Structure 1
């Protein structure tokens, strides 16, 4: 198993497997119910592996408008809160909202390239592992029939992520 595949499994097991089953219900019971046509989590993966601090840093047409009610889960003896941000944008002259996440574990790949002297991990290694990450995450999630329709993986290039169906 490669680094990208392992990070993808970690994201699935430690986050998506917990959050995805409740996303549609949490959207439906929120103030964003009417303006969110796709009640799923958009998983945004930058093809270059560069993770911005905010969605707005990727696509200027996106802005954070709120959060869903947190999901509380007992994990390893602690109650943990899982938050999901709600974003807004104008799409076909209409304000739409959507729930999105960028896998923070991809920061590991970026950090490894920045710490080349310690890791020997190159920019090419990072790009290759991001591709493996996206392919592995897709494969993992496609095998989870109970999660069908709860997510959409969006691998994007450049500075526009709104090429997906919000």
Structure 2
């Protein structure tokens, strides 16, 4: 597995409104052609087409309503109102009824677009009935893109549920205590000087695309070695008193043999995705599993980015499974993210006095801005410091009126 250099090229983005723009463009072009060739029948044709497109879903909704009222009114709706719940669930909403009513009124006012009245009504009802039939048979069913768009928009995918469960049931509970656990761990392991960098004090969460998770990282890469566990966090959860949550510390060796300590683990819900793909009854193949892993990564990243409890305490690492020839790809991926974290951190603490003396001794002359006191040059205090808020205790003063003070020569 290797760390992806460009994750944006792999992670699917939410679908946009481009199909709506294309549909609006086609409708505008077609309407313009009708206006150009037959402007006198435009409103009648538009009204009849709208009626066909609305009466078909209404007839199909009536077929669905018959099923729901006969067999599912108590089990699925628990006796709730017909107008408020059952009708909208069957597609008999107010928008469709309103569009059909307005189209009927427009057709009545504009007249019949066909030469004979009987032809107009026959075509209208025949098209509506055939639409309901084809819709019930699945011929006019939603495409895979539409189903995917609905599931992603309404957060109905398996990945969305797993990501929220992982956040609410685990990360939101343990990440706020991570820094305290690392501090306690360093106090008991001060001789080995673990967690030298700021990036290593975050929880590194590995998300492999193949969802195949090893329970021991050292089995995948011999440059990764188990070091110790952080102190346990005991939280009362779901009736269990003192449920234990723990993290493992690993030492990752670079190409020079230097050890870098970090808290790293796999995203546990990926085991569920992998096991589902192994069960034939789940109907969850490898392509669907890969897509759900990407959605899981995108959803979890979005959740954690908006979480105040978890901010700056985690790092998601997406791992590719295409090239597995290098036995040290996992350690290289972890080290790359650790180095990236170190480069992104900026130190705001003042420079120590020893560093100032060392800088002065390395220069032959003092800078012109340094003042002379008791015959010795002193370096001024560094400009960077921790930001502070300053409040004024004075009462606000009213604005003064402009006063003319220009002198004119006579």
Bigger RCO (CA 8 Å, 6+ sep): 1
Q: Normalization by structure 2: what TM-score?
A: 0.39
SS at match of 1:156: strand
- Map of 1:99 onto structure 2: 263
Residue 13, structure 1, aligned to residue 168, structure 2: yes
Could you tell me how far 1:22 is from its partner in structure 2? 1.0
Structure 1 unaligned spans of 5+: none
C-alpha separation between the residues in 2 aligned to 1:59 and 1:155? 17
SS at match of 2:269: helix
Residue 120, structure 1, aligned to residue 275, structure 2: no
Question: Which of 194, 215, 221 is equivalent to 1:35?
Answer: 194
Q: Normalization by structure 1: what TM-score?
A: 0.92
SS at match of 1:49: coil
Decide which moves more: 149-158 or 55-64.
55-64
1:62-117 Cα shifts (integer Å, max 9, x gaps): 1111100000100012120001000002236321110012122211111111112x
Could you tell me how far 1:165 is from its partner in structure 2? 2.7
C-alpha separation between the residues in 1 aligned to 2:275 and 2:259? 36
Residue 68, structure 1, aligned to residue 230, structure 2: yes
Structure index of larger Rg: 2
Tell me the C-alpha RMSD between the 2 structures. 1.6
- Map of 1:133 onto structure 2: 296
C-alpha separation between the residues in 1 aligned to 2:228 and 2:274? 28
For residues 114 and 108 of structure 1, do their structure 2 counterparts lie closer, same or farther at Cα, with a shift above 3 Å needed? same
Could you tell me how far 1:145 is from its partner in structure 2? 2.7
- Pick the structure with more helix per residue: 2
Decide which moves more: 27-36 or 57-66.
27-36
Decide which moves more: 123-132 or 89-98.
89-98
- Map of 2:116 onto structure 1: none
Question: Which of 202, 206, 213 is equivalent to 1:51?
Answer: 213
Question: Which of 292, 300, 314 is equivalent to 1:151?
Answer: 314
Question: Which of 337, 340, 348 is equivalent to 1:165?
Answer: 337
Could you tell me how far 1:59 is from its partner in structure 2? 2.6
Structure 2 unaligned spans of 5+: 1-155, 339-410
1:143-164 Cα shifts (integer Å, max 9, x gaps): 1133221000001124523323
C-alpha separation between the residues in 1 aligned to 2:320 and 2:305? 23
- Pick the structure with more strand per residue: 1
